Amino acid sequence: MGIFFKLGWFFKKEKKRYLIGVTFLALTSVINLVPPRILGLMADQLDKGHISWQEYGLLILTIIFAALLLYGFRYLWRRQIWGGAAELELQLRSKLFRHFMEMDRTFYQRHRTGDLMAHATNDVSAIQEVAGEGVLTLVDSLLMSVSTMIAMIIFVDWRLTIVALIPLPFLAWGAWKLGDQLYDAFDESQAAFSRLNNKTQESVSGIKVLKTFGQGKEDTQAFNDMIANTIKINKRVFKWDSLFDPLGTLLIGLTYTITIIYGGLLVSNRALTIGQLVSFIAYIGNMVWPMFAIGYLFNILERGSASYDRVEKLLDEKPAITDQNADQSIHAQDIDGDLKYEVKSFAYPDEPQIPVLHNIDFTLKTGQTLGLVGKVGAGKTTIIQLLLREFDQYDGKITLNGHDIREIPLNVLLRQISYVPQNNYLFSTSIQKNIAFSDANSDESAVISAAKKSDLHNDILQMPGGYNTLIGENGVSLSGGQKQRMSIARALLKQSKILVLDDALSAVDARTEMAILKSLRQERKGKTTLIATHRLTSVMGADLILVLKDGRIVERGTHDQLLAENGWYADMWQRQELEEKVGE
Ligand SMILES: Nc1ncnc2c1ncn2[C@@H]1O[C@H](COP(=O)(O)OP(=O)(O)OP(=O)(O)O)[C@@H](O)[C@H]1O
């Protein structure tokens, strides 16, 4: 029941809706008592042998009227209570979504995407069930059983009521206990089914890798083992289900048997009329659902409570990157790309004892370009991540126009940076919308111009729907190079003061790369650019190039200076030049 208190804030907010809903539920329960009583009265008339058609007609009309009222009241409580549940679902989902949007990298490192999805879907559904099915079951079963019992005592007989209802508490107990086992088994079976689904998806999407590594047979065997396990788990559901159903039939049958025997005795002793016995038998029908409902209700509440705790725990997590220390007087116009980077040391939060950056310092004036080069894992992406404020806990300072980036409001800072990451993310929508991602209202000519600068325009024109071509799961697939150029076009359209390219041209050929870099140089005059890359031709025009090794700057200078230094850069340059020539 604790979950009702946990959701107190919601019920308070939706007080009116629930009051109306519960009132109509109560009226439904009361009207439900009418048809059995009328059936009894009709039976008594038949028993007397002389039927008054007028009275009979009146009774039939009353039943029809009660049925119409029931229809109307059921409609009204359903609208109120199901509407409340839908409202709670909406509020929780948008709260979670807002929270996910606020959270930073460390949060997403702690939680797997699949788990977050499960919280946003299964847990929210379990909580909304409390506000819908849970409220309904609690109120309805309570009102229905109490009012039916009162009607049995008043209209029929208190002794028959006590004796006939003896088996029903056992039914409630059985439904609760077996229901628990049944739902546990059902949960396990759902989890097994979802594991089976994941396995199928993984195997199908990785089918080429599986086949080329000759793992087809092994994978089929693993899949068969999984099916066998899923069936074993499903058999537990059948077992509890098979125990559950006959128990219900047995106990309800017992109730009817007692009623017929003891009720019949009372009728033959003239303590009860035949009509009263008919009413009583019809009332038993009203008592069955509340008994089953107890087990059902506990289950809904238990699940809802566990889900609510999980969602609350997630919502309680605070992002490490916040606007707490932000100086709200800093606006976009105060930043024009004058960057000073002084980081003495930085370690990722999950491995605090291993610093990955040491003494990284450089200065970029507005309009300058920085090149970051070095072997895999040298620290290029990490340098960029700190500038994007994905992590805050480093020893040192990064400033833009003299403002510590930790003091610049996040929305101001991030709006000034266009970032093209190593892994492009495209949405399942049109090419036009993918490019115009930062501003859905940007006009077509701006989108085309950005695509031209990224050397993508001609590729798009050759696609079936041009700029309206759908991409992603339901549309065409793009090559790695096309995806990269699309991401660059998206970043260019944003027209921000700082552009960051993280290995963003790795999948395009040298000719395309030169064309893009050339138009970037013209486009980005007066704006700051950072390029992390493995291909040195990408940064040969940069104002400053940093060569990184194990998180330290080992060489720095312009292209010419670095060639003259005859170090790693010069060596790599010669190698790449040679590769290029051999390639040609
Ligand atoms: N999230 C993380 N948690 C812990 N360590 C990390 C994390 N991301 C990267 N690292 C480590 O930090 C170091 C620098 O990685 P980084 O990605 O910055 O290198 P990089 O120069 O960009 O490499 P690449 O050229 O492959 O992109 C590596 O040793 C890497 O293993």
Confirm if 370 and 362 have CB atoms less than 8 A apart. Answer: yes
Give pLDDT, residue 121: 85
Whether the predicted pLDDT of 570 surpasses 80? yes
Atom of ligand 1 nearest to the CA of 372: 21
Reported in sequence order, the residue ranges of 247-380 that DSSP labels E, i.e. its strands, are 339-347, 355-364, 369-374
Average pLDDT over residues 146-155: 92
Strands laid side by side in the 544-549 sheet: 417-420, 498-502, 528-532, 369-374, 544-549, 552-557
Q: How far is CA 276 from CA 14, 39, 53, 237, 246, in A?
A: 42, 9, 20, 41, 29
Q: How many helices (H) and strands (E) does the chain have?
A: 24, 10
Give pLDDT, residue 475: 62
Q: What angle do CA 161, 163, 166 make, to 5 degrees?
A: 100
Q: Is 356 in the pocket of ligand 1 (CB under 6 A)?
A: yes
Residue nearest to atom 31 of ligand 1 (CA): 377
Dist. CA 389 → ligand 1 center (Å): 16
Q: Is 108 in the pocket of ligand 1 (CB under 6 A)?
A: no
Residue nearest to atom 14 of ligand 1 (CA): 379
**What is the Cα–Cα distance from 15 to 31, expressed in whole angstroms?**
24
Query: In testing the pocket of ligand 1, which one of 343, 356, 423 has its CB within 8 Å of the most ligand atoms?
Result: 356
Query: In testing the pocket of ligand 1, which one of 104, 348, 393 has its CB within 8 Å of the most ligand atoms?
Result: 348
Dist. CA 535 → ligand 1 center (Å): 18
Dist. CA 495 → ligand 1 center (Å): 28
**What is the Cα–Cα distance from 70 to 27, expressed in whole angstroms?**
8
Residue nearest to atom 1 of ligand 1 (CA): 348
Q: Is 470 in the pocket of ligand 1 (CB under 6 A)?
A: no
Query: In testing the pocket of ligand 1, which one of 382, 388, 548, 568 has its CB within 8 Å of the most ligand atoms?
Result: 382
Residue nearest to atom 12 of ligand 1 (CA): 356
Angle between helices 444-453 and 510-523 (to 10 degrees): 130
Whether the predicted pLDDT of 583 surpasses 70? no
Give pLDDT, residue 473: 63
pLDDT tens digits, residue range 418-446? Answer: 999 988 888 888 899 889 987 777 888 99
User: To which residue do tokens 């007087």 refer?
Assistant: 329
Q: Is 506 in the pocket of ligand 1 (CB under 6 A)?
A: no
Residues forming beta bridges with residue 553, ordered by sequence position:
548
ipTM of the complex in this document: 0.95
Dist. CA 381 → ligand 1 center (Å): 7
Classified as helix, coil or strand, 345 is strand
Q: What is the mean pLDDT of the chain?
A: 88
Two tokens at 105?
């990298």
Residue nearest to atom 25 of ligand 1 (CA): 376
pLDDT tens digits, residue range 104-125? Answer: 888 888 887 777 887 888 889 9
Residue nearest to atom 20 of ligand 1 (CA): 377
Q: Is 352 in the pocket of ligand 1 (CB under 6 A)?
A: no
Average pLDDT over residues 352-379: 94
Whether the predicted pLDDT of 41 surpasses 90? no
Residue nearest to atom 7 of ligand 1 (CA): 348
Dist. CA 308 → ligand 1 center (Å): 36
Helices (H), 103-215: 105-110, 113-118, 124-129, 135-151, 158-164, 167-205, 207-212
pLDDT category of residue 515 using cuts at 50, 70 and 90: confident
Q: What is the pTM of this model?
A: 0.73
Q: Is 347 in the pocket of ligand 1 (CB under 6 A)?
A: no
Residue nearest to atom 2 of ligand 1 (CA): 348
Share of the chain above pLDDT 70, in %: 99
Q: Is 355 in the pocket of ligand 1 (CB under 6 A)?
A: no
Reported in sequence order, the residue ranges of 329-416 that DSSP labels E, i.e. its strands, are 339-347, 355-364, 369-374, 395-400, 403-404
Whether the predicted pLDDT of 584 surpasses 70? no
Q: Is 306 in the pocket of ligand 1 (CB under 6 A)?
A: no
